[in-house]
Structure 1
């Protein structure tokens, strides 16, 4: 069995790695160097990992995991990497749920949101879907411990119909980057993450509209739909939820630069699209 080599790397070698990463544009070169060294099994493997990082491959794809809400989330190459800002989505959803809640995570990616919610809330009935087979594989690995039920398919389509009108909390970190803005994303995203996880259509709202349009079929009375969006798109996202029978509220976290719109199920469509802002 190969042994990890982090105990055998001297400061000089570590310094060389840090310099190489920094030259390649890695902002957190010191932290990344330590992670690569700690994860490498051999010197040859370490050399290969550093070279991959220098060429632009995301750190999480190289080491195979990401830290999200204090959980080690397995991440395979090509899969959307959970972002720190999405921890705000978890926080907002956790506030609205209780142990035993039925929670559905749409566009689940690695399953990070569902896993984090199960850890924070306690025992929940967790369901998750994603259209990408590799993401589904990751999500199953990441939510197995929490009893997650992960399905491959488009949004609600693969969910069991027994969940109709029973879901307490729907969370959706659906793609919301406008198509024309994909080319402006950092190289790590646009080159190494699948476009289906990023592209939200012309205005970035296409998937959000589809999520909202069927929400009432699944939500329990007084159930909630939480959608991560951008600060710029927040009003439009709120309007979409209101047009589909949800009472929207915009929440924003300055520290994480994160925005979540929370829609509460109401008895009829709120055509006036009134919503409240909270910070």
Structure 2
């Protein structure tokens, strides 16, 4: 049995799921999703249940009847989190390393809060637990097409969304993800400035004859106020996170921010000729390039 702890917003939930689902497929075991954190975490909603997740994968209410509430599991995750924080501060590194990952993995604890891929080790434990973000396609590349299918939105679109979907499908749509909320701009994650987006739009305009730019943002009002786009743009607002995800992955090309949500929006696109532009850094404090990048991304220095 595999029990996956769900964390963060929809993009991070998708990475958590993709890793756990791949682990399940490799081990031919049951998979349970522990969504308990969302009972007290009010910043983001749990939206993974709006995607094409198989009914055979149980949710957190089913997990609680099993073993996820045991003290050993909760304590091990807290200790791992503290260990990661101490190492990051004392050694100034965001990399716990492969040896720790594999040592815990052998015990059935697949924990990884840093930004790098480590090869999976086999565990003979009856119960396996995943805790972390696992932000790399390398963790699930062997099951890529299945996972992409399962992470598409299953809920039928509203009339408002249908109209916009048809509009997006009718042209060379470019989805632009702009993180611009105050929590982002005042944090170490603040990587993508206005110049990044202006330059990225110029690159797209050189490659695509008549692109149509669609702006997705966590703070549309401030984007409207702060940006001076030289190309016509259309603002996407008033949609739930999973609806915005579907609108985004329906676009043909992408300018993404350093966010897991925009990464998945580009990744789920079915356009084999898509252009994906990304910032050359994902975190200001990374000691090396994180494994979230894909080989075909066009990187702009930031």
Q: TM over 0.5: same fold?
A: no
TM-score scaled to structure 2, two decimals? 0.30
